[in-house]
Amino acid sequence: MSLLVGCNTLFAQDIQRVYIDGVKYDVYAVVQGDTLYSLSKRFGVTIDQITAANPSLAEGLKAGQTIKIPQPQPTTKKKADKRSKRDFRVHIVRKGDTLYSISRLYEISVDALIADNDNIDPSQLVIGQSLYIRRNAIGLTTEEQSHEQMVQQQQAMNSLISISDYSYHLVHKGESADSIASRFGTTIDALLALNNFRAAEYIREGLIIKVPNSAQEVATEPLQQTAEPEQSVTQSRLEQLSSNKRAEVALMLPLGKGGVASQSYLDFYQGFLLGADHLRIEGIESHINLFNTAHDLDKVTQIIEQNKLESANLIVGPVYEDTLIPVARYAERRNVPVVSPLANLTQSNATNLFQMSPRPENKFEKVTELFDGSRRVVFITSDTTDKSFEAEVKQALGATPYTTHKYIYEHPSEIEKRIKAAAEGQEVPPSPSDLSPLLEGQDSSLFVILAATEVEVDRILAALASASISLKAKSIKCAPYMVFGNNKWNRYKNLDHALFFTNNVVMLSTYHIDRSDKHIRDFASNYIKSFGSLPTLYSYRGYDAAMIFIRSLYDDIENGLAGKKFMPLQTPYTFVEDRQSKVRVNSEWVRVNYNSNFTITAQ
């Protein structure tokens, strides 16, 4: 929190800062009462600059509209130089650097890099240019947080697109110019030309690039149905411990760097300790050797070369794949299991390696009946669209047909005028924000809300709930419906979560905790007594890792945990062997159902 406040007060107001075609903007959702004059004063730019950046403002400023605010020019160069010498170190851009790779190198937030460097263009870093790295922010951002910030950048950029021949795509690990061009139905040459790149090597993980919209339907082809990986394709050589032997566990975590602790991984460690303590009560003894690996390959190599892992029966970590690979190779020679607790592995190849994060290929397995054609599917769009969510759902739909309905917001005062006019006997057209027509009839429906902003999602969910209540009050048949939700909604701070229940929202998640559950409350109580703080998702995952893998050393480790389902708390794990990499990967995504009786069920 202190980092976000230190970067810029605007971030505390959930205003995203992005670069588009080399120009820095703040992405802003207009609220009731805003005027061009008030926005120009607030952001320190002229009205002309705002209108020039947003041609749609010729039709007027509208609440809920997403606009881009150009950044004012920095005051003086002298002040920036003084700042950099006192509080910042300097990074010289090298060949292959991206905004994402630099954020990972220093474990610093993407938001901080953008806020502190007026001359940075994330899509086209210039070799030899100097970037300021905030010293007191180094080592505070995890890989997951950096990736999430890049996703937010992509979504913010796409939210500014109204009608365009292209949208923005975040390059994920393992993607190449060839695979991206194939996915979006274009050629490598056309992709490079669209992004003004000279060679395919410019397209790297963490880069946000333009992709053609004209070929988006390619992404709607059915998911390739791959055969379920066999549970024991490769004979495991992992050995079960005798019941009288104490387990030696090496826990390798990036606990901090430069004297600054990483709270997320401290939480993981504390959760792991509680799991080990729980097992100790059951009679399973373990000794935990903790290693602070930071995100430093040299450190990890040194730990291996000094034989500090020699006595380990189980290794958990390192967290980052580039530092995990040499550990997995070392442990494979010694027939020792290695657990990747958080990362989605794409380059590792080891028969002794276990991945706790669910693999993307299994994501829609628990919701296949939602997309099998047994119910009407309606995409509800708005002024902004989450392009990545749209492509993902279309891919899951395959050949199943769907329709699209655009939601148009109308202010409550206008709706009241309509009601009053109708009461006076006037013929009044329905409100464009009235979703009642979607609910009338007999057919069960699945609504997919594609809005990309918190305000629009909240309005659409509220409009669906209101339409349902209105129809029932008029004794009009309201067809049963569900909403397939985007798990990003859980991160929205002001979204009315009661609407999840009234609209029967279904979501998919990599991890689920219902804090109202007694089992979870007991865990939280124990955690607070032990460490004086509330548990986080990292705490829960740490507990799961200890409960599954320390116990399995005495039971299921010899068969690679094949054919067994684990659920230490509320999140399930089933490990299957990937045919190519031989890694045992968790295949379980969590389906979360928000029921109309205000209960939550997870599958």
Which amino acid is present at 135? R
* CA dihedral for 316, 320, 326, 329, sign (positive or negative): positive
Question: Would you say residue 156 lies in a domain?
Answer: no
Q: What is the CATH number of the domain that holds 275?
A: 3.40.50.2300
Shared domain check, 333 and 201: no
Shared domain check, 502 and 373: yes
Per-residue tokens: 144: 């997951």
Q: What is the Cα Rg of the chain in Å?
A: 26
> How many percent of the chain have pLDDT more than 70?
89
What pLDDT score does 259 carry?
A: 65
Q: Which range is least confidently modeled, 20-34, 41-55, 436-450, 472-486?
A: 20-34
Question: Would you say residue 476 lies in a domain?
Answer: yes
Shared domain check, 438 and 353: no
Question: Would you say residue 226 lies in a domain?
Answer: no
Question: Would you say residue 602 lies in a domain?
Answer: no
Contact 433, 407 (CB under 8 A): yes
Residue linked to tokens 């210039």: 126
Shared domain check, 108 and 128: yes
* pLDDT of 227 above 60: no
Last residue of a domain, one of 491, 509, 527: 509
Q: How confident is the model at residue 258 (pLDDT cuts 50, 70, 90)?
A: low
Shared domain check, 581 and 480: no
* pLDDT of 14 above 60: no
Shared domain check, 398 and 335: no
> 116-125, 265-274, 426-435: which has the highest mean pLDDT?
265-274
Question: Would you say residue 447 lies in a domain?
Answer: yes
Shared domain check, 417 and 401: yes
Domain of residue 99 covers 15-143
Shared domain check, 528 and 427: no
* pLDDT of 228 above 50: no
Last residue of a domain, one of 474, 492, 509: 509
Q: What is the CATH number of the domain that holds 469?
A: 3.40.50
Shared domain check, 264 and 132: no
Q: What is the mean pLDDT of the chain?
A: 81
Cα(108)–Cα(103) distance, integer angstroms: 5
Question: Would you say residue 233 lies in a domain?
Answer: no
Q: What is the CATH number of the domain that holds 57?
A: 3.10.350.10
Residues 361-401 pLDDT 10s: 788 888 888 888 888 999 998 888 888 788 888 888 888 89
Question: Would you say residue 153 lies in a domain?
Answer: no
Shared domain check, 311 and 182: no
Per-residue tokens: 165: 């021949």
Shared domain check, 190 and 174: yes
What pLDDT score does 221 carry?
A: 34
Q: How confident is the model at residue 84 (pLDDT cuts 50, 70, 90)?
A: low
Last residue of a domain, one of 486, 509, 532: 509
CA separation, residue 26 to residues 13, 141, 297 (Å): 11, 22, 36
Cα(9)–Cα(150) distance, integer angstroms: 20
Shared domain check, 48 and 88: yes
Count of domains for the chain: 4
Q: How confident is the model at residue 9 (pLDDT cuts 50, 70, 90)?
A: very low
DSSP 8-class letter at 493: S
Residues 91-134 pLDDT 10s: 988 888 888 889 988 889 888 888 888 767 777 788 888 888 98
Question: Would you say residue 262 lies in a domain?
Answer: yes
CA separation, residue 238 to residues 94, 233, 279, 553, 564 (Å): 42, 14, 21, 9, 16
